[in-house]
Structure 1
Amino acid sequence: MASKQQNRGLVKKGKNNAAVVNLPYPKLRDDYILVKTIAVALNPADWQDLEEQDLKPGSAPLLIGCDFSGIVEAIGAKVRKELKIGDRVMGCVHGTNVNNPEDGAFAQHITAKGDLTMLIPPNLTFTAAATLPSGLATAVLALYRHLALPMLPATVAGSPGPWILVYGGSSASGSIAIQFAKLSGLRVVTTCSPRNFDFVRGLGADAVFDYRDPDCTQQIRNLTSNTLTLVLDTIATPSTAAISTAAMSSTPRNGGIYCNLMGVSSPRDDVKAVFFLGYTGLGEPYTFSGEQWPVVPEDYELVKKVLALSEGLLREGRVRPHPAAVRGG
């Protein structure tokens, strides 16, 4: 029985204080599955959460980590996705979660929302699979919730779609966003270092520019004939916001949208800045920087729908994982 086995994981014990410790087996909630982890992936949120405020005295340590792949060990009674014990799965969880301290990914055995987990297709390794879930969920919410792209599959053919700028196209989130934007019928322009030009072109980017080129913004505006109104900035700093919004149309119809992952404001009054947290796609209330955030049912349903579609896209090779640098555990 799983309950007789040992469990160890990496937890946050305080600000900038993490340790590998013995852990009890996580409780299997009705809509969750129990997973034996095989691989995990690092995300910026992992170290950012570790640097956040200290824990309250007496608080339980928080299990760290968001992305995982592994093998199903048990299935909750209310899980609706067709899963069986022994299935290879991947998914994301809310690591370093003060509301549910056991919700992270960096442990030998974890729990994850059953209906949000994805079956790993035969053409993907556990390592490759672990790099995908958070990037997929982030791209789904950015593109289809906040930028209102046409839902998959694209149905309009024969005419070019509108332009979207994916700033930071060679990042994990950027590489996924490029592929889904193309599948939704858009034309994609992106930025990255020249050494990654071939990589993003291979993902489907229609054009790519060096973000360090002082003419980058004008080149993008010329390419898009001054029509660019949609931006996803996966790097999200004041300098990337300045480049992104400067490349947008000088007369955006219905207002341009600058969507970013770090809460950066728009330098332009006529461009709306949208910041979101991918945790809304997990279907649970959560705490971020001391503020309580409620469940967003429509985000959960959207992520669940597109992740299910993504299983087939990955199996068919129409979506590819980001290259991984593999480290020992």
Structure 2
Amino acid sequence: MAQNKAIVVAKAGDARILDVPYPTLPGDDYMIVKTTAVAINPTDWKHVNFASQLGNENTRVGCDYAGVVQEVGPAVTQYKPGDRVCGFINGCNKFRDTDGAYATYAASKAPVQGRVPKGWSDEQAATLGVSITTVVRSRAVPNTRPPTPRRADPGQDPLLIYGGTTATGIYGIQFAKLSGYTVITTGSPKNHELLKSLGADHVFDYRSPTLVQDIRAAAGDNLSYAWDCHADQASANVCARALNQDGAHYAGLLGGIDRAVKAANPKAKVSVSLGYTSFGEDAWLGALYPASQADFDFAKKFWPLAIDLLDEGKVKPIAIDVNRGGSGLEGVLVGLKELAAGKVSAQKLVYTL
């Protein structure tokens, strides 16, 4: 059996590289992948640093990966050994401690993964998993529009994506534009031209004292949907105040900020866009998020559509910084600290294994 190493949360703030067993197939629709590249997301360092609150000690870390299929379960028909694939693994899974992408070999759920897009490197493809799956779950983009241009004049449908320079924001802007929205987003001034090049119609400095007024003006005082890719108390407050005051929808990436939204906009509908529910399995992030067959079914349909758009060049890859601080799992440990320290913007840290 091949040797396997993985990054494991020993305790809060302490992630270590350990020898672990070669993975077994958790279900008939899973496959085993030899990872070639992994990327780092905020959820990864938070799972490490807040392990005691989340209850995920002794689990394997990591969500985003690209790699080569080694074996497939009996229900897997879309992939075969030797295929290059990428996607999202439920890292630090309290319910199954063998999950996690930061490993030499990992198990991934085949129906909600993707093949590596044409012309993309494994390092680029490793950035897709969490972002694409979260876009699927956001209901800001694909759940309300097909991922193709809908009409020539999309101005009646403004959409705020707060945190446009996050990885999810960068991909979300592009899918939203393809879906026919007028896209309003936020970012540092140094990244405004980048965000416009991706399709954003209006870009505002998130530190501007007139941010809420600027967003409302750009939306014609008719903003009914905000997707918060930053998701803290401050961003939630801005989104809530920019939204209409009559039944508008706030979608965030973290739970626990309902009060901040409701305090600023009591009538707003609040939802959480967690990619984790797209596996069709129970997920735990400090609270139980029950399995959703609807989320699983939609993710199965959207991933092939997304890969087609990537093949066609209609969605561009995020900029990547490869092997900052070193390669392999040792480099990943450095990258987790870099992201936690806020040293990454408008790009994604990727490590080759």
TM-score (norm: length of structure 2): 0.85
Question: Aligned pair 1:86/2:82, yes or no?
Answer: yes
Question: Aligned pair 1:303/2:299, yes or no?
Answer: yes
Give the CA deviation at 1:144. 5.3
Give the CA deviation at 1:53. 4.2
What corresponds to 1:281 in structure 2? 278
Q: Tell me if the contact between 1:144 and 1:151 (Cα under 8 Å) persists in the aligned partners.
A: no
User: What is the rounded CA distance, in whole Å, between the counterparts of 1:194 and 1:60 in structure 2?
Assistant: 39
What corresponds to 1:312 in structure 2? 308
Q: Tell me if the contact between 1:8 and 1:107 (Cα under 8 Å) persists in the aligned partners.
A: yes
User: What is the rounded CA distance, in whole Å, between the counterparts of 1:24 and 1:42 in structure 2?
Assistant: 23
What corresponds to 1:48 in structure 2? 46
Question: Aligned pair 1:260/2:257, yes or no?
Answer: no
User: What is the rounded CA distance, in whole Å, between the counterparts of 2:277 and 2:177 in structure 1?
Assistant: 24
Structure 1 unaligned spans of 5+: none
- Seen in structure 2, the aligned counterparts of structure 1 residues 231 and 73 have a Cα distance that, compared at 3 Å, is same
Q: Any idea what the Cα deviations from partners look like across 1:169-188, whole Å, max 9, x if unmatched?
A: 11101111111111111110
User: What is the rounded CA distance, in whole Å, between the counterparts of 1:56 and 1:257 in structure 2?
Assistant: 27
User: What is the rounded CA distance, in whole Å, between the counterparts of 2:132 and 2:9 in structure 1?
Assistant: 26
Aligned partner letter, 1:259: A
User: What is the rounded CA distance, in whole Å, between the counterparts of 1:214 and 1:15 in structure 2?
Assistant: 37
Give the CA deviation at 1:286. 2.5
The equivalences for 1:179-190 within 5 A come to 179-190=174-185
Q: Tell me if the contact between 1:248 and 1:256 (Cα under 8 Å) persists in the aligned partners.
A: yes
Aligned partner letter, 1:323: A
- Seen in structure 2, the aligned counterparts of structure 1 residues 144 and 227 have a Cα distance that, compared at 3 Å, is closer
Q: Tell me if the contact between 2:171 and 2:315 (Cα under 8 Å) persists in the aligned partners.
A: yes
What corresponds to 1:270 in structure 2? 267
Aligned partner letter, 1:189: I
Q: Any idea what the Cα deviations from partners look like across 1:190-221, whole Å, max 9, x if unmatched?
A: 11000001111111011111111111211221
What corresponds to 2:223 in structure 1? 228
User: What is the rounded CA distance, in whole Å, between the counterparts of 1:33 and 1:241 in structure 2?
Assistant: 38
Moved more, 268-277 or 86-95: 268-277
- Seen in structure 2, the aligned counterparts of structure 1 residues 106 and 124 have a Cα distance that, compared at 3 Å, is same
User: What is the rounded CA distance, in whole Å, between the counterparts of 2:53 and 2:226 in structure 1?
Assistant: 36
What corresponds to 1:137 in structure 2? 133
Q: Tell me if the contact between 1:280 and 1:296 (Cα under 8 Å) persists in the aligned partners.
A: yes
The equivalences for 1:1-329 within 5 A come to 4-28=1-25, 29-54=27-52, 61-80=58-77, 82-143=78-139, 148-158=143-153, 160-249=155-244, 251-252=245-246, 255-263=247-255, 264-265=257-258, 266=261, 267-289=264-286, 291-327=287-323, 328-329=327-328
User: What is the rounded CA distance, in whole Å, between the counterparts of 2:53 and 2:203 in structure 1?
Assistant: 43
Q: Which has the higher contact order (CA 8 A, sep 6+)?
A: 2
Q: Tell me if the contact between 1:260 and 1:275 (Cα under 8 Å) persists in the aligned partners.
A: yes
Q: Tell me if the contact between 1:14 and 1:55 (Cα under 8 Å) persists in the aligned partners.
A: no
Aligned partner letter, 1:262: L
Q: Any idea what the Cα deviations from partners look like across 1:64-93, whole Å, max 9, x if unmatched?
A: 10010001111110113x212111110101
SS of 2:139 mapped into structure 1: helix
Q: Tell me if the contact between 1:161 and 1:185 (Cα under 8 Å) persists in the aligned partners.
A: no
Give the CA deviation at 1:157. 4.0
Identity of aligned residues (%): 35
SS of 1:12 mapped into structure 2: strand
TM-score (norm: length of structure 1): 0.91
Give the CA deviation at 1:41. 0.6
What corresponds to 2:333 in structure 1? none
SS of 1:175 mapped into structure 2: helix
